[in-house]
Amino acid sequence: MTTFLLATDSVHATAAGCDYLVDRVGTDDTVIALTVHEGGGADAERDAADALNVATVRLSGAVETERREGDPAGAILDAARDHDVDEIVLVAPSGGAGSTLRGVLGGADRPVVVVQPA
């Protein structure tokens, strides 16, 4: 049994993460789809809900969804520890490594897979 943490901030990032996970997730595996809210109002909340919905639909029921608040890198690392995940899946931001990606890579104590967006 493997537990994956898919950290996402948009529908497009979720789709890319699901493309990576769809052939890796078995019947005994779990995916935790996580969004981190830093503020941004109703539009950000709607985007987060849409992103989590994509994971649930694309990965057919093997998904638990979670929302956290605060610094994205710190929240992702905390969630990975809290759920004792085996692998963290992130989608690389367009335009190079962002601060969240750098923060997770620098602080992770478990494998991190960085997926390129479609």
* 93-116 pLDDT per residue, tens: 766 668 999 999 999 999 999 998
**What one-letter code names the amino acid at 35?**
T
Domain CATH code at residue 11: 3.40.50.620
For strands 30-37 and 63-69, give the pairing. parallel
Structural domain of residue 31, as residue ranges? 3-115
SS3 at position 73: helix
pLDDT tens readout for residues 51-73: 999 999 999 867 999 999 999 99
Query: How many independent structural domains does the chain possess?
Result: 1
